[in-house]
Each structure stands twice: as C-alpha cells, then as structure tokens.
Amino acid sequence: MKLVFKAKLSMDDAGLITAMAWPFAKPDRVGDMISKGAFAKAAMPIPMLFGHDFNDPIGAWDSAIEKEDGLHLSGKMLVDDLQRAREVRALVKAGAVPGISIGMIVKKSKPRAGGGRTISDLELLEASLVTIPMHPGARITSAKSAIQAITLAEAINRATAALTTGTLK
C-alpha cells in the first residue's frame, strides 16, 4: 500500500467548514489526477488534521460528496473544545492556511502520458488544513476571510509554479 497526500476549503466562526478537497479537471503538482467515482467508497467520518499530523487532530469531516467539479467535504473544527482548533481557525481567517490536502491509499491507478497517474480507486483516510496544498485548486471556498485567503493561495500557487519551472528570479 502507498500513502499519498493531495489537496480546497471554507470555514465560519463556529468551526463549520466546507472544502473542495479534489478538483477533477486538473492534475496536481506531480501530475496525478483522480477520476470521478474514485471517492465513492469514502467512509465518513474521517479525521480533520492540521498539516497531515496524525497527532494534531482539530475536528472531523462528516460528509464527502462527489460533484461534477470534484470532491466536496464538510465538517466541523472543534473550536469550542480545543485550543489548537481555535488557533488554526485564526490562521485560516488570516489567510495563512488557505488549503486542504487529502491523505489516501491508492488502490487502483494507471500512468498518465507526460507523468503522474490517473487514480480510479482509493481509500480516503483524512483531510488536512495546510499552507500549500498538493493540488493548486485546493483552497478555501467560503467564510468572510475566504477572498483574502484565495488571493494568498493564488500568490502561493504562482510562486510555487515559478520555483518549479525556474522562472522565479
């Protein structure tokens, strides 16, 4: 088995959060794409972590829905119960943590021309709030601070792309 981390996100003051966890139309930074239907067996709830740290849970995702554009998650950060969840909420609202990334075990995939793979079956293990998601389209989608976070996420994605291609000077 191979554990792979991938990664979109929104939140309100009570800790309710929604996210685009995986856009279907574009590959991630290493060329991987996930096919619609690959998340069909997602067993909810799954842990909501910070930075894929299994020792840093901050809530739980209770819904996973595949739509035409990608996998959408919703859940709750435990802001009433955990100081760490309140800290992460503040980071999200400030735009310092604009993304989401998923942890999964790939069950079935095939190579893609030009690199990466197309994943058609997987086991969803967790979804983490992160500073830079593996998938450029994985970022906060709601909350009053979402516009600022999306702007920051776009800047981070442009800088990452420039570093990868060597065009950043």
pLDDT tens, 139-169? 656 543 333 334 444 555 555 565 666 554 4
Q: What per-residue confidence (pLDDT) applies to 58?
A: 97
CB atoms within 10 A of CB 103: 20
- Range list of H helices, 78-129: 83-94
Q: What per-residue confidence (pLDDT) applies to 169?
A: 44
Residue 137 binned pLDDT confidence (cut-offs 50, 70, 90): confident
Greater confidence (114 vs 73) lies with: 73
Greater confidence (23 vs 165) lies with: 23
Angle (CA) 165-166-169 rounded to 5° is: 140
What SS3 class is residue 28?
A: coil
The phi and psi torsions of 126 (rounded to 5 degrees) equal: -165, 165
Residue type, 162: A
Greater confidence (164 vs 56) lies with: 56
In this prediction, residues 60-74 reach a mean pLDDT of 95
Q: Are 9 and 34 in contact, with CB atoms under 8 Å apart?
A: no
Greater confidence (17 vs 150) lies with: 17
In this prediction the pTM is 0.77
CA distance 80 to 82: 6
Q: How many domains does the chain divide into?
A: 1
Q: Which domain holds residue 121?
A: 3-165
